[in-house]
Amino acid sequence: MRFHSPQKLKTIADLIGSKFVGPEDFEVLGTNEIHMVKPGDIVFVNHPKYYDKALNSAATIILIDKEVDCPEGKALLVSDDPFRDFNKINTHFTRIYNFTEQLHDVEIGEGTKIHSSAVIGNNVKIGKNTLIFPNVVIGDRTVIGDNVIIQSNTVLGGDAFYYRKLNGNFDRLISVGNVVIENNVEIGNGCTIDRGVTDSTVIGEGSVLDNQIQIGHDTIIGKRCLIASQVGIAGCCVIGDEVTLWGQVGIASGNTIESGSVLLGKTGVNRDLEKGTYIGMFAEDFKTYLKKEVKLRNLK
Which residues form the catalytic set? 217
Cα–Cα distances in Å, from 293 out to 68, 283, 289? 53, 15, 6
CA angle 116, 118, 121 (to 5 degrees): 120
Confirm if 118 and 139 have CB atoms less than 8 A apart.
no
Distance separating alpha carbons of residues 193 and 259, to the nearest angstrom: 21
* Side chain identity, residue 177: G
Which residues 6+ apart lie within 8 Å of 213 measured at CB? 188, 191, 192, 227, 229, 230, 231, 232, 233
Distance separating alpha carbons of residues 89 and 95, to the nearest angstrom: 11
Chain length of the chain: 300
Q: What is the CA radius of gyration of the chain?
A: 21
Cα–Cα distances in Å, from 136 out to 105, 191, 218, 223? 19, 10, 21, 23
